[in-house]
Amino acid sequence: MKRGRVCRGFLGGDGKRAIIRLVDLREALRDVVRVGVARGAVDFEGVVAGAVEYLDTFEGEPAELEAAARAVAVDEFAAHEEAQAGWGDEELEPDRLRAAFRALDEAGIVARADFACCQNCGIHEIGAEIPEGETRRGYAFCHRQDVEGALDGGGVHLAFGVFGKGGGAAEIAAEVVDVLGRHGFEPVWNGDAGTRVFVPMTWRVRRHGRLAAYPGRPEAPGPVLTVSVQDLARGTWQEDWPMTFPEVRSLLLDLPPVAGSFFVCATPSERVVQGMWEGGDRLWAEQLVAEERASYGRSVTLDEALGVLRVLAEEGRYSLGELGPLRRETWPEG
């Protein structure tokens, strides 16, 4: 759908044409909003804002456009919630894709899902994902248009390459194919460095917590963590966001394993687990004990950290010590 296609033929001033224009607007909005909801990347307000921006050529009052976008978004969020209820508890393919991408990141290949709007922009922007002063061997990503094509089961295509001059792109692709296979995918690639890797899959994303909220929806019960994250790869800082455990899991799967990037998760009773990437596939995790003015920690994998955070969110207790001996650090005075 091209920008500006909507409403161009319905600019008359009488009531009939205005009604036709609004009907056409809602039809276009439904297409745009449905994609925004299915991608699962932003909350209700973000979906509405994205739809309004996409259709900003609408010949009418901005307030009319926003009101129509909100009405359509409520319907689409409710429809997504109903569909999601039938998915069961199985791990979804985008979750496995992000897990595979974290393994590639750990191996020195920058890997991103739903990255940039198109292939050209992605290739131009992917180098900015490398922290200053560090190097990476290569990259792989699928962009927003790929994801939109996968919403109905069309799969995604992965662009890949190396940083700097020289060859090696085919070797990067072969490694990507191998890692994807170990995460349950059956990628298709002909061995040509000029052909993208195809990954058969359907893009389905569960919405939880703030990402599932929309006007009129009853507040969903469930444990909530307050989460702060520093992402050194992207240069972002997110502070004190309320999240359910599934949101935390998605967030950390999408956090590049760059040494120094960290997260802090706290329960309403002020039990805190925090972690910092050490580099490679390990991160340092620790639980804070305020009454002792001390922390207890150990080096863990991301999967182990996620298990600890699940217990923290769902049971409100510390479980890091169940992975083995912990090192105690006393907090400095002052």
Q: What is residue 14's predicted lDDT score, i.e. its pLDDT?
A: 44
233: pLDDT strictly greater than 60: yes
Task: Enumerate the β-bridge partners of residue 272.
Answer: 266, 288
Split at pLDDT 50, 70, 90, the class of 74 is very high
Q: For 249-270, how does the pLDDT look when each residue is reduced to its tens digit (9 = 90+)?
A: 888 988 888 889 999 999 999 9
What is the rounded average pLDDT for all residues in the chain? 88
DSSP string spanning 54-118?
Answer: HTTT-SS-HHHHHHHHHHHHHHHHHHHHHHHTTSTTPPPHHHHHHHHHHHHHHTTEEEESS-SSS
pLDDT above 60 (res 19) = no
- Backbone CA torsion sign across 48, 50, 52, 58: negative
**What is residue 131's predicted lDDT score, i.e. its pLDDT?**
81
